[in-house]
Chain A
Amino acid sequence: MNKKHLHIVSKGDICLSCGACVGICPLDTIYLNEWRIEFDEVKCTRCSICVNACPVGAISIGPETCTHSNMTGTSFPGR
């Protein structure tokens, strides 16, 4: 599937806003905006390193974008 159809999201009800993923991502793609994780979906290669590395499993890559349960962890295409 084209990466455009695979969104990367951090679910706000799981995310601890710890910033681990920001430093782990090999690109300058994730940003911790105080409490909220933002992804640059244009830069993100969907390599999924951050998905397993997140200590609590908040990040997922799939067709879904933000829902009410992950309002604080939305994905922002092209910050």
Chain B
Amino acid sequence: MASDLECDVLVVGAGPSGSVTAKFAAQNGANVLMIEKRQEIGSPVRCGEGISKAWLPEVGITPSPRWINVEVEGARIFSPSEKVFEVNERDAGNEVGYVIERDAFDKALAIDAGNAGAEIMLKTHAVNVLKENGRIAGVKAKQYGQEFNIHAKITIGADGFESQVGRWAGLPTNLQVKDMDSCLQYRMTNIDSDERYCDFYLGECAPGGYVWIFPKGDHLANVGIGVQVSKIKSQAEVKALLDKWIDRHPGYAKGKKIDMVAGAVSISPPIKQAVTDGMMLVGDAARMIDPITGGGIANGCIAGKVAGEVAAKAVKEGNYSKDRLMEYERGWRAKIEEKQYRNWLAKEKLVTLPDEVFDKVIDSLQGQSVEKLNVLNILKLVKEKHPELTKEFADFL
């Protein structure tokens, strides 16, 4: 029987959200333990690997050639008949985003956490939460076949889309089938893609989601699909749709697959509650993914910083109650909630549009430019041209 452990702050899951949380908690003086069930942080990769740049300084991440593959100039959005709306900041001389090497990125963030003083344990699964006097007081964990308890003043659920920590604690993390996308991606070489852009294909080729091509340089790219779970009608349909899309595009059909990854993302409104006595949820575990883009790295890291700082303060004060941890709830909501809610409303509309409407909208946007490439600016353009499509969320634009 392995012996029990104790710490101030226990972080379950060493993805980006967990590592950023662990780093800021440790940096602010807490004794932090981060556990990860895999043997290797960041691997296997389950990600399209596209991120925007603007938020990185806010969470203390310094761009590094160790994890940057390509700097992209912009995005291209393709309608079902493959009319293109190109958005870039090239005119402003800006590069808008990176395609990253996600396993190296996750490791870099874990290294930052370790260097800030957090302990890290690999191959260590949380299998349940510990409850003491009505509060979460750590987890029951398993490592190398041995079960033991980890007692913590504050437990952070950073266990990703497959999160169970939140469920065990009774937090409302369950999703409706219309608020999830099921995803599959191939890394392909020998393809013809424009390496200056991240490409998105909308419409019936990916019901309720999109096909993406994120360039990794040298004719290599991530070619993936996300499909709304409520729109999937048969077994293995997600794979069939991606294969069909590739077959129809000769520049990709000639490519060779060197990797295959799958996963799911939430495309939901913000959850109602991400804290309880002794516990906070961050990142995918708290369903913080952007419902339009399906990207979750940025929001997870932004929330992680707040969670880490609040956890360290709460430890210093000796108060781990839900009331104390509400500072985190307010903090992440101030940074994420409105945008996530607005993009969820926009997604709710988008998934109802037939191909003809997508064609019409994209057609009318051609030649338009945005000053800064983000979802809000694109939605504002749509509002200008097609107010009827944005009336459900016009107040947010």
Give the B-binding residues of A (Cβ under 8 A): 16-20, 22-24, 26, 28, 31-34, 49, 51-57, 60
A52 to B182, CA, bound (A): 10
Chain B residues with CB under 8 Å of A18's CB are 46, 261-264
* Chain B residues within 8 Å of A33, by CB: 125
A54-B44 contact given A18-B261, A19-B263, A23-B163, CB 8 Å threshold: no
Which A residues touch B125, using CB under 8 A?
Answer: 33-34
Contact of B184 among A26, A32, A51, A56 (CB under 8 A): A56
Taking A56-B238, A57-B235 as contacts, is the C-beta distance between A23 and B168 under 8 angstroms? no
B252 interface hit (Cβ, 8 Å): no
* Residues A55 and B184 in contact, CB atoms below 8 Å apart: yes
Q: Point out the residues of chain A lying under 8 angstroms from B266, CB to CB.
A: 23
A-side contacts of B356, CB under 8 Å:
none
Contact A16 B262 (CB under 8 A): yes
Residues of B within 8 A of A (CB): 37-39, 44, 46, 123, 125, 160-164, 167-168, 174-175, 177, 180, 182-184, 229, 232-239, 260-264, 266
Best-buried of B38, B180, B182, B263 by chain A (most CB within 10 Å): B182
> A55 touching B162 by the CB < 8 A rule?
no
Determine the distance from Cα of A20 to Cα of B264 in the docked complex, in whole angstroms: 5
Given A24-B180, A55-B182, verify A19-B167 contact (CB < 8 Å): no
Q: Given A52-B232, A52-B234, A54-B236, A34–B262 Cβ distance below 8 Å?
A: no
Task: Name the residue of chain A whose CB is nearest to the CB of B263.
Answer: A18
Asked if A56 and B261 make an inter-chain contact with CB atoms under 8 angstroms apart, the answer reads: no
- Does the CB pair B263–A56 fall under 8 Å? no
A and B contact pairs by CB, cutoff 8 A, 15 listed: A17-B44, A20-B162, A20-B263, A22-B161, A23-B175, A24-B229, A31-B164, A34-B37, A34-B38, A52-B232, A52-B234, A53-B177, A53-B180, A55-B262, A56-B184
CB-CB under 8 A from A52, the residues of chain B are: 229, 232-235, 237
Q: Which residues of A contact B239 (CB under 8 A)?
A: 55-57
Instruction: Give bound CA distance, A38 to B118, whole Å.
Output: 31
Provide the residues of chain B in CB contact with A51, threshold 8 Å. 235
Closest 6 CB pairs of A and B: A57-B236, A20-B264, A22-B162, A18-B262, A19-B162, A55-B238
- With both beta carbons as reference points, the residue of chain A lying nearest to B242 in the complex is identified as A55
Knowing A16-B261, A53-B180, A53-B182, the reply to whether A28 touches B162 (Cβ < 8 A) is no
Which residue from chain B places its CB closest to the CB of A18 in the assembled complex? B262
* Pairwise interchain contact B262-A20, C-beta atoms closer than 8 A: yes
Enumerate chain B residues within 8 angstroms of A31, measured Cβ to Cβ.
164
- How far is it, in angstroms, between the C-alpha of A6 and the C-alpha of B293 when the chains are bound? 38
Please indicate the chain A residues that have their CB under 8 angstroms from the CB of B233 in the complex: 52
Assembled-state Cα–Cα distance A16/B120 (Å)? 26
A23 close to B264 (CB less than 8 A): yes
What residue in chain A is nearest B167 (Cβ atoms)? A28
- B37 surroundings in chain A (CB, below 8 A): 34
- The complex places the Cα of A28 from the Cα of B174 at a distance, in Å, of 10
On chain A, the residues within 8 Å of B264 by CB distance are 18-20, 23-24, 53, 55
Q: How many Å lie between the Cα of A17 and that of B168 in the bound state?
A: 22
Does A56 contact B164, Cβ atoms closer than 8 Å?
no
**CB nearest neighbor in A for B184:** A55
- Contact A16:B260 (CB < 8 A) given known A26-B174, A52-B234, A53-B180: yes
Residues of A contacting B183 in the complex (Cβ-Cβ under 8 angstroms): 20, 55
Query: Does B167 lie within 8 Å of A54, measured CB to CB?
Result: no
Query: Which residues of A have CB within 8 Å of B161?
Result: 19-20, 22-23
Asked if A54 contacts B168 (CB within 8 A), the reply is no
Known pairs A18-B264, A53-B264 / 18 extra A-B pairs, C-beta < 8 Å: A19-B162, A19-B264, A20-B161, A22-B164, A23-B162, A24-B229, A24-B264, A28-B167, A34-B37, A49-B177, A49-B229, A52-B229, A52-B233, A53-B180, A55-B182, A57-B236, A57-B239, A60-B235
